[in-house]
Amino acid sequence: MSQRSSHWQLQTIVSQLRTARDQWRAQNGRISGEQGGRELPSRAAMAEILEALCGALFPMRLGPVDLREESEDFYVGHTLDVALNALLAQARLELRYVARQSTQVDTEVEARAISLIQDFALALPGLRSLLDSDVLAAYHGDPAARSVDEVLLCYPGILAVIHHRLAHHLYRAGLPLLARISAEIAHSATGIDIHPGAQIGRSFFIDHGTGVVIGETAIIGERVRIYQAVTLGAKRFPADEDGQLQKGHPRHPIVEDDVVIYAGATILGRITIGKGSTIGGNVWLTRSVPAGCNLTQANLQHDDGTQK
């Protein structure tokens, strides 16, 4: 150990950290060293995979700076080969982690991982088409946008939606941990928090975006536009007889087609925002509204200032 390292009492700290890990593993039924290697997927690996997938989906915009159009197909093929093999390795880790808590054997995990990533690969052309509709929605929905290229290169809402489209496929395929990691990478980069379970239709546009939160069971229709600091959240979190939160039940809003939700609006619970409605800025909403409704803070208040 170097003289510099001796300043930090590293031997003692390392020993104490080992004791803390062993205590946690014992308390949570973990067997130390059972795997002989990493047990869970890597956030760093997923970040590299997602960057590569973005480049493969939009090679001349999100690919390497020196890419030429005549090399586009080669780049896409090579990039996908590397990215999908890396994603397969991460899928194995998640499925093996789940398998240790069930009766699955490694051969079943391997076959399932390959099948899931094959399906993911085959879905990429459709996801590209879906993302094209989102890019166009942003371009047509923002008068400040000068081109679709600017939208794709600069808009945080588009980056968040690209990640969401990829993460949502993984979530539905049965890889929720990889999906959540993918979503949180975009959340860290953009300030936009979309749970990978949320169902979002075509031509979706998040303008500005910072502070947007969309919950797991939210359902969003087509051609929906939302602005910064909008929350599509849960109103309450029911618990079971043991006091544990119940998971998986529908608890977030349904937003139908052609809805606009302005900045700061908070929409909570399993309510429905009818087709073509407009929700004004800073509105707090916990009840359904019919199609074509135009809600603002002013028309949500009684004369005495209480909410209707």
Q: What does the DSSP assignment read for 38-107? A: --S--HHHHHHHHHHHHHHHSHHHHS-TT--GGGHHHHHHHHHHHHHHHHHHHHHHHHHHHHTTSS--HH
Q: Going by C-beta distance under 8 Å and a sequence separation of 6 or more, which residues neighbour residue 37?
A: none
Evaluate if residue 124 carries a pLDDT over 80. yes
Rounded CA-CA distance 203/140 in Å is: 10
Using alpha carbons, select from 277, 274, 239, 235 the residue that is nearest to residue 252: 235
Rounded CA-CA distance 285/268 in Å is: 6
Rounded CA-CA distance 212/230 in Å is: 5
- DSSP SS3 for 164: helix
Rounded CA-CA distance 271/118 in Å is: 37
Q: Which pLDDT belongs to residue 118?
A: 98
pLDDT digits (tens, 9 = 90+) for 42-93: 999 999 999 999 999 999 999 999 999 999 999 999 999 999 999 999 999 9
Instruction: Check if the beta carbon of residue 213 is closer than 8 Å to that of residue 233.
Output: yes
Domain 41-191's class? mainly alpha
Rounded CA-CA distance 170/175 in Å is: 5
CATH classification number, 211-299, choose in 3.60.130.10, 1.10.443.10, 2.60.40.1760, 2.160.10.10: 2.160.10.10
Where in the chain are all domains bearing CATH 2.160.10.10?
211-299
Quote the pTM value. Answer: 0.89
| Mean pLDDT taken over the chain | 91
Where in the chain are all domains bearing CATH 1.10.3130.10?
41-191
pLDDT digits (tens, 9 = 90+) for 141-185: 999 999 999 999 999 999 999 999 999 999 999 999 999 999 999
